[in-house]
Chains A and B, each alone.
Chain A
Amino acid sequence: DVKVTQSSRYLVKRTGEKVFLECVQDMDHENMFWYRQDPGLGLRLIYFSYDVKMKEKGDIPEGYSVSREKKERFSLILESASTNQTSMYLCASSNINRDYGYTFGSGTRLTVV
């Protein structure tokens, strides 16, 4: 069964900490995405990558960076965590064939205190 695996299900961090969220997919997908989901705001795209070492900003990239050194791994970095980054973070991957939608990971619920 194909999978997108996020390293942590729940995470609690302190304000100002540098936070790493890891995502790994085993489907050889070209595209990978990071979203955050908040009540009333829906899914908002933070960053995406369509190839190794390639990245593009989504709708809300401020305060975040990403890294994709290998095809299967896409990391989201919160440079200095703030309380307004408390959210559910969802990683997804897809291939370039339009017949496939995203496959999502199980999500990381991050709380910044």
Chain B
Amino acid sequence: QKEVEQNSGPLSVPEGAIASLNCTYSDRGSQSFFWYRQYSGKSPELIMSIYSNGDKEDGRFTAQLNKASQYVSLLIRDSQPSDSATYLCAVIVSSNTGKLIFGQGTTLQVKP
């Protein structure tokens, strides 16, 4: 069973701090990785994708990928209360169908 593991949290950070969210995956052949944000009662929203080892930055968000360690992370700089949500890590397990496996999600709380 291919798995994606996340710490469920909650992860609590003060406003303005850096939030670090982590994810590990079991399928060494995985090639595409995604981070989704889900507010309570809402559907997941894609915020970052990453395919190559290293860092990818988009505004206050940075995704980091280390395929050798089977590890992907999301950094949120200058965290805001509006960033409080559940963050889902997802990994493509089939390049033919684009089928994603999701982690359970990490709940982030940003305190003013």
Binding between chains A and B: yes
- Where the two chains meet, the residues of A that have a C-beta atom closer than 8 Å to any C-beta of B are 31, 33, 40, 42-43, 45, 48, 50, 56, 90, 94-96, 98-107
Chain B interface, DSSP helix/strand/loop, else mixed: loop
- B43 engages A106 (CB within 8 Å): yes
- B88 engages A94 (CB within 8 Å): no
Q: CB-CB < 8 A to A94: which residues of B?
A: 98
Complex interface residues of chain B between 54 and 112 (CB less than 8 A to chain A): 88, 90, 92, 95-100, 102-105
Q: Jot down 30 A-B pairs with beta carbons below 8 A, ordered by A.
A: A31-B97, A31-B98, A31-B99, A42-B102, A42-B103, A42-B104, A42-B105, A48-B97, A48-B99, A50-B96, A50-B97, A56-B97, A90-B43, A94-B98, A98-B31, A98-B32, A98-B51, A98-B92, A99-B49, A100-B49, A101-B36, A101-B49, A101-B100, A102-B34, A102-B36, A102-B46, A104-B43, A104-B45, A106-B43, A107-B43
- Chain B: interface residue total (CB-CB under 8 A): 24
- Where the two chains meet, the residues of B that have a C-beta atom closer than 8 Å to any C-beta of A are 31-32, 34, 36, 42-46, 49, 51, 88, 90, 92, 95-100, 102-105
